[in-house]
Amino acid sequence: MQNTDNAKDVIVGVVGLGLMGSSIIASFLIAGHQVIAVAPLPQDLPEAYQRIYKQLVHGDHSGLLSKPIDSYISQVIISDDYSLLQNCGLVMECVIENIEIKESVFNKIACAVSKDAIIASNTSAIPISTLQKLVPNPKRFLGIHWAEPAYMTRFLEVTCGEDTDIAYAEWVVELAGLWGKEPTLLKKDIRGFITNRLMYAVYREGLALVENGDVTMEDADKAFRYDAGSWMTLMGIFRRMDFLGLQDSLVAWNAIYPKLSNSETVPGVMQEMVDKQARGIHNQKGLYPYTAEEAEQWEKAYTQFNEDIFKLAAQYPSPVTEVK
């Protein structure tokens, strides 16, 4: 069984060097791991180094680094050669949400690593129980779902598939302490894991209200920014109920429950977005309109906000009894 006594000595592999993969690599490097970064798409190779470097600069600027950037970046090997993964204790797959592509990637990883390695997927759309059927050692396969930017959020979902040995999931949860995360552990592989499952319930309701002409997207976003956004980072949803005092609950529950959307059909607007290849702020086609300048301003604001909220959250650890 793995142990975490020398957690930093675990060599970590990352396969898939897109935005998410690079960001995860930055997180591993900042945590002190040596990282083998494999690009399944050769065209990602030239950009990957620069992307990771840029993220380390951001991490440095945010006070996450204790040594010069070069001493972190020197710990990553970027290549398209899977055989370099041979000494990795953990390999993270971060390729697109396509099961055939993932299968081909798992095969290559499995051929390269030792039987003791743990293989993890960053998927948020495909069940872990499905993916683990594609590897030779399903007990050692699990989900590790990161949020962007991986080096600057504490979010991490560790998910077991049906065949995962929970001891390996627990090992990852421990290791995640080194990565500065506040991981959740899902023993049963539910659709959407925790965060997407809960968020899609909001999306369903929000889109139903918008499609019905009851609410504008702008107003729904405003309500979330200034109501939920004023306590979410501190307490989450159930603690919030304890703050609200629970007394009006039954009246409100009984009135609202039967009105909530039960739609099982994905709203037309999402199909529309797919049809016109909308990538939101990334190509200035989305639910909202964007000029190139506005998209850039949003990107900048998000980068800055990430840093600000990361630092703010650090002042409110859990349990709150540790608060200054």
**Residue 320 binds to its own copies (criterion: CB under 8 A):** yes
Q: Footprint of its own copies on residues 233-262 (CB under 8 A)?
A: 233-239, 241-262
In whole angstroms, the minimum distance from the beta carbon of 319 to its own copies comes to 8
In whole angstroms, the minimum distance from the beta carbon of 88 to its own copies comes to 26
Q: What value, to the nearest 5°, has the Cα angle with vertex 124 and ends 192 and 152?
A: 115
Q: Which is nearer to its own copies, 54 or 222 (CB)?
A: 222
**Residue 205 binds to its own copies (criterion: CB under 8 A):** yes
**Residue 323 binds to its own copies (criterion: CB under 8 A):** yes
**Residue 279 binds to its own copies (criterion: CB under 8 A):** yes
**Residue 314 binds to its own copies (criterion: CB under 8 A):** no
**Residue 178 binds to its own copies (criterion: CB under 8 A):** no
**Residue 263 binds to its own copies (criterion: CB under 8 A):** yes
**Residue 306 binds to its own copies (criterion: CB under 8 A):** yes
Q: Which is nearer to its own copies, 40 or 206 (CB)?
A: 206
**Residue 167 binds to its own copies (criterion: CB under 8 A):** no
Pick the piece of the chain touching its own copies (CB under 8 A) from 3-11, 85-93, 164-172, 202-210: 202-210
3-state secondary structure the chain: CCCCCCHHHCCEEEECCCHHHHHHHHHHHHHCCCEEEECCCHHHHHHHHHHHHHHHHHHHHCCCCCCCHHHHHCCEEEECCHHHHHHCCEEEECCCCCHHHHHHHHHHHHHHCCCCCEEEECCCCCCHHHHHHHCCCHHHEEEEEECCCHHHCCEEEEEECCCCCHHHHHHHHHHHHHCCCEEEEECCCCCCCCHHHHHHHHHHHHHHHHHCCCCCHHHHHHHHHHCHHHCHHHHHHHHHHHHHCCCCHHHHHHHHHHHCCCCCCCCHHHHHHHHCCCCECCCCECCCECCHHHHHHHHHHHHHHHHHHHHHHHCCCCCHHHCC
**Residue 186 binds to its own copies (criterion: CB under 8 A):** yes
Nearest to 113 by CA among 15, 204, 18, 183: 15
In whole angstroms, the minimum distance from the beta carbon of 160 to its own copies comes to 12
- In this chain, which of 65, 73, 133, 155 binds its own copies, going by CB under 8 A? 155
String of contacts with its own copies for each residue 13-52, x by CB under 8 A: ----------------------------------------
In whole angstroms, the minimum distance from the beta carbon of 81 to its own copies comes to 28
In whole angstroms, the minimum distance from the beta carbon of 79 to its own copies comes to 27
**Residue 111 binds to its own copies (criterion: CB under 8 A):** no
Residue found under tokens 């970590």: 12
**Residue 61 binds to its own copies (criterion: CB under 8 A):** no
- In this chain, which of 8, 54, 61, 300 binds its own copies, going by CB under 8 A? 300
Distance of CA 17 to the CA centre of its chain: 15
Q: Footprint of its own copies on residues 115-134 (CB under 8 A)?
A: 124-126
